[in-house]
């Protein structure tokens, strides 16, 4: 996964995916796994920020 200059995922549609989870009343955990070019910690932190932004 890659991020653009605004911190948005450039190859994954977070708003659409999280909207589907919310629409179906998903209440479980969301696991984050990062395998991009950034370090693992930074990638997970950016992914978490997107989840919180769109949840």
Q: In this predicted structure, what is the pLDDT of residue 36?
A: 87
**Residue 42 has which token pair?**
């930074």
Residues 19-35: tens digit of each pLDDT: 999 999 999 999 999 98
What confidence category does residue 12 fall into, taking pLDDT thresholds of 50, 70 and 90?
A: confident
Phi-psi region of 30 (alpha: psi -120 to 50; beta: other; left: phi over 0): beta
Is the sign of the CA dihedral 31, 36, 42, 45 positive or negative?
A: negative
Domain of residue 34: give its range: 14-54
Q: In this predicted structure, what is the pLDDT of residue 25?
A: 96
What's this model's pTM, rounded to 2 decimal places? 0.84
Q: Is residue 8 included in any domain, yes or no?
A: no
Q: What is the CA radius of gyration of the chain?
A: 11
Q: Is residue 21 included in any domain, yes or no?
A: yes
Q: Is residue 46 included in any domain, yes or no?
A: yes
Q: Is residue 5 included in any domain, yes or no?
A: no
Number of domains in the chain: 1
The share of the chain scoring above pLDDT 90, in percent, equals: 78
Say whether pLDDT at 54 is over 90. yes
Q: Is residue 4 included in any domain, yes or no?
A: no
């Amino acid at each position: 996964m890659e991020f653009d200059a605004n911190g948005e995922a450039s190859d994954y549609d977070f708003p659409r995916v999280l909207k589907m989870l919310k629409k179906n009343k998903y209440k479980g955990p969301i696991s984050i796994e990062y395998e991009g070019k950034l370090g693992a910690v930074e990638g997970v932190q950016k992914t978490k920020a997107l989840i919180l932004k769109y949840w």
